Amino acid sequence: MERTLSVLVKNRPRVLARVAGLFARRGFNIDSLAVSTTEDQSISRMTIATMADPPTVAQIAKQVSKLHDVVAVIDHTEREIVERELCLIKIKVERAMRGELISLCDVFRGDIVDIGNGSAVVQLIGDKDKIDAFVHLMQDYEIVEMVRSGRIVLDRGAQKE
């Protein structure tokens, strides 16, 4: 099962390497990683998605929480969350197909952020399933390049994590 963790850390050099290194030493792949400062510039949030069963994730979270400069570890898997990811896709599209591409973007609430001679760049924001579905539909076109930001999450509701 895919699990999502937020790791709040002091915003210092080498902290990301220590956290990622722990995953690597334990033989766990990081499927998605997004890192940025929080509302407190001295703290960064790492949002990590990995495939593991609940006991394994609990063990990883416990080990990560013991690392130097780690402030907190939150397992979002069983929580009500708001999840988003950004995807930019450069698609080969001829002038005759632009209308169809625009219609697909409208359905998925995507934006064409650049259009040129024979290609377009689409920006899509949503959860993993929405992005995956759009990418699947884009297989009918030729995807020239694609980049995804990685998942970011926050718990729903008023409380702070």
Same domain (yes/no): 57, 90: no
pLDDT mean over 14-41: 94
Residue 160 in domain: no
- Note the pLDDT of residue 1: 79
Same domain (yes/no): 67, 111: no
In eight-state DSSP terms, residue 76 is -
**Domain CATH number, residue 145:** 3.30.70.1150
Same domain (yes/no): 6, 65: yes
**Domain CATH number, residue 58:** 3.30.70.260
- Please state, in angstroms and as integers, the Cα–Cα distance from residue 69 to each residue in 3, 58, 83, 86, 157, following that order: 22, 19, 25, 28, 27
Q: Is the pLDDT of residue 159 over 90?
A: no
Residue 103 in domain: yes
- Note the pLDDT of residue 2: 87
Over the stretch 67-110, which tens digit does the pLDDT of each residue have? 999 999 999 988 889 999 999 999 999 888 999 999 999 999 99
User: Which residues, other chains included, contact 95 with Cβ-Cβ below 8 Å and sequence gap of 6+?
Assistant: none
Residue 92 in domain: yes
| Tokens coding 70 | 């780690």
- Point out the domain boundary residue: 75, 99, 125: 75
Same domain (yes/no): 97, 143: yes
| Tokens coding 50 | 């990995």
Over the stretch 102-137, which tens digit does the pLDDT of each residue have? 999 999 999 999 999 899 999 999 999 999 999 999
User: What is the extent of the structural domain holding 135?
Assistant: 82-153
Number of domains composing the chain: 2
What rounded mean pLDDT belongs to the chain? 93
Q: Is the pLDDT of residue 28 over 70?
A: yes
- Point out the domain boundary residue: 35, 59, 75: 75
3-state helix, strand, coil in the chain (%, to 5): 30, 40, 30
- In this structure, of 2-11, 21-30, 152-161, the range with the lowest mean pLDDT score is 152-161
- Percent of the chain predicted with pLDDT > 90: 81
- Note the pLDDT of residue 79: 87
The pTM score is 0.85
